[in-house]
Amino acid sequence: MIKKNPPPGTSDIFSDEMNDWYDLENSAKYIFSLYGYGEIRTPVFEYTEVFKKGLGDETEVVKKEMYSFEDNGGRNFTLRPEGTAGVMRAMLGTDVMNGNEKRVYYIGPMFRGERPAAGRKRQFHQIGIENIGKKSPELDAENIAMLVDYLKEIGITGSEILINTRGNKEDRIPAEKALKNYFEKYINEMCEDCKHRLNTNIWRILDCKVEGCKKIVENSPDVVSYFSQETQDYFAKVCKTLDEFGINYKVEPRLVRGLDYYVHTVFELTHSALGGQNAIAGGGRYELYLGQKKKPVIGVGFAVGMERLLMVREALEVKSKIEDKPFVYIVSMGEVAKLANIKLAQELRCHNIATLTEYENKSMKAQMRAANRLNANHVVIRGDLEIEKNVVVYKNMETGEQEEVSQEELINILK
Ligand code: HAM
């Protein structure tokens, strides 16, 4: 038997919720276009390799959370767990590989097989942006500034910006050694995942959520101090540019982010209105090695979680800027009137007036109930008698007043 609920961790989104979603989407289009970004739409599924190579084999997302499947032709695909890798795949072979810049944004569903919880879904929606092909600390700061502008546009105040540097691959070698020396001493007291991470991806220990591990992490070496001067200067410039922009942020030396493609700047935005899953956005600078050649696709970007933004907006009581268009409900009495009213509905729509009417033979009372249930702003009543008199009865649902008018007068009132 088919259940009424969608699979765990997914949701049906009904039309009465959509104005809030449109608001997030329209605001993104508006703010991002001020920074020269245009939309890109890539497939919802990709060859599994795109994510394995792009995000890193040892990331939690790749190891535990991907929805992968074999199609009838034996090809291995994965529903995208995030947007960056697919967009970078699309960039292979374009002129961004020669240092030209591309600015793109995307909106759509992502899929991760995580344990569902408040703010954590298996199908969730992201709005993401990628600035591809260029490298500069000021550009990284511009990215964060655009995110701040976006949050302001959608009425979200009170978020906290955490930033850090992940250095580059060479920088990390001495830092990794220092981490290993430190964590080896405590590894027996740490969780099973951390025991595994010690040899596979030691950085992930830094954001382990297990209480016992968190205590040990608190006293771990300051990894950034092991990074090269060049990397530290790069990060200082990101911070200086943010200062120039007047953006408040907190440097969080243990922020590593869950995806392996990050280099240099990383950032996360959190909001106290959310519980355990308090990240509303995350991003940073990256290098993705996807192509045949050893040349990575480089860029900087971020993604916001739409469900989480909506949760914050609800907590802050932010209303959507988009409102439903007023609409008319036409009530018919009698066969002749019914056909005439179906034609009237078509005519009103030609005048850009949203109109509904009843097609089944229902009583006047039932039709008025339907108009109320649908929150019609105006009701037009026309029976065979009104047809003979060449009038309609117009009822304003807000005031309750009603009057007999001609069809021309009706159109003028509704317009
Ligand atoms: P991420 O931090 O994995 O980054 O995800 C970005 C945002 O998506 C999170 O801050 C959160 O709001 C939302 N999100 C993630 N997982 C879930 C979930 N299971 N349920 C609900 N919301 C979720 C990325 O995905 C990177 N691709 C961002 C990026 C773009 N970095 C560079 N460019």
The finding on whether 183 has its CB within 6 A of some atom of ligand 1 is no
pLDDT tens digits, one per residue of 325-368:
999 999 999 999 999 999 999 999 999 999 999 999 999 999 99
Atom of ligand 1 nearest to the CA of 258: 3
Average pLDDT score, the chain: 95
Dump strand ranges (E) for 279-377. 279-288, 297-305, 327-333, 354-357
Q: Can you tell me which atom of ligand 1 is nearest the CA of 304?
A: 7
- Cβ–ligand 1 distance for 205 under 6 Å, the answer no
User: DSSP secondary-structure letter at 124?
Assistant: E
What integer is the mean pLDDT of 196-220? Answer: 91
User: Tens digit of pLDDT for each residue in 257-311?
Assistant: 989 999 999 999 999 999 888 899 999 999 999 976 678 999 999 999 999 999 9
Q: What's the whole-number mean pLDDT along residues 74-78?
A: 97
Q: Is 86 in the pocket of ligand 1 (CB under 6 A)?
A: no
Residue 129 confidence (pLDDT) above 80: yes
- In the prediction, which pLDDT does 295 show? 86
Which residue's CA lies nearest to atom 31 of ligand 1?
283
> Cα(306) to centroid of ligand 1, in Å?
10
Say if ligand 1 is within 6 A of residue 130 CB.
yes
112 lines ligand 1 (CB under 6 A): yes
Q: Answer yes or no: is the C-beta of 286 below 6 A from any ligand 1 atom.
A: yes
Please name the residue that has the structure tokens 């939309």: 39
- Whole-number Å distance between alpha carbons of 107 and 315: 23
Q: Is 89 in the pocket of ligand 1 (CB under 6 A)?
A: no
Summarised one tens digit per residue, pLDDT across range 305-332 is: 999 999 999 999 999 999 999 999 999 9
- Going by alpha carbons, the residue nearest to atom 11 of ligand 1 is 305
* Structure confidence at residue 98 (pLDDT): 85
For residue 260 and ligand 1, the question of a CB distance below 6 A is answered with no
- Backbone torsion region of residue 289, taken as left when φ is above 0, otherwise alpha when ψ lies between -120 and 50, otherwise beta: beta
Ligand 1 in reach of 265 Cβ (< 6 A): no
The radius of gyration of the chain from alpha carbons, rounded to an integer in Å, stands at 28
The model's pTM is 0.95
Which CB contacts under 8 angstroms, 24+ apart, belong to 316-319?
Answer: 316/155, 316/156, 316/157, 316/158, 316/273, 318/154, 318/155, 318/156
Angle among Cα 246, 249, 250 to the nearest 5 degrees reads 150
